[in-house]
Amino acid sequence: MQFNGEWPCWEIMRCEGTDSCPARKNPKKPCWEIASKMDDYRSAFNVCKDCIVYLLKQEQSVFTDQEIRVIMERKGSCALAARVN
């Protein structure tokens, strides 16, 4: 599977979140910027810097395509998903 840096976070994460998802409400804003404004663990622990969405969207990735594929196969869930009811 080829990954596209233009995909929104919910497509990269294969998230089945609802329309109440903050990232879906603000699709032009990077999800890590949305998460940084939340008053909970996401901003406190800086979880987005380790997220595959953040890493894929950087201009120069430190990962090869093969490494990205492995990460995607083993990845966890979306940090924003825990906020959605």
Mind listing the pLDDT tens digit of every residue in the chain (85 residues)? 556 668 898 888 888 777 788 899 999 999 999 988 887 776 667 778 888 888 888 877 777 878 877 877 776 656 565 544 4
Burial (CB count within 10 angstroms: exposed 0-12, middle 13-18, buried 19+), residue 84: middle
What residue ranges do the domains of the chain occupy? 25-83
CB 69 within 8 A of CB 4: no
Give pTM, 2 decimals.
0.69
Residues contacting 52, CB < 8 A, separation 6+: 12, 13, 68, 71, 72, 75
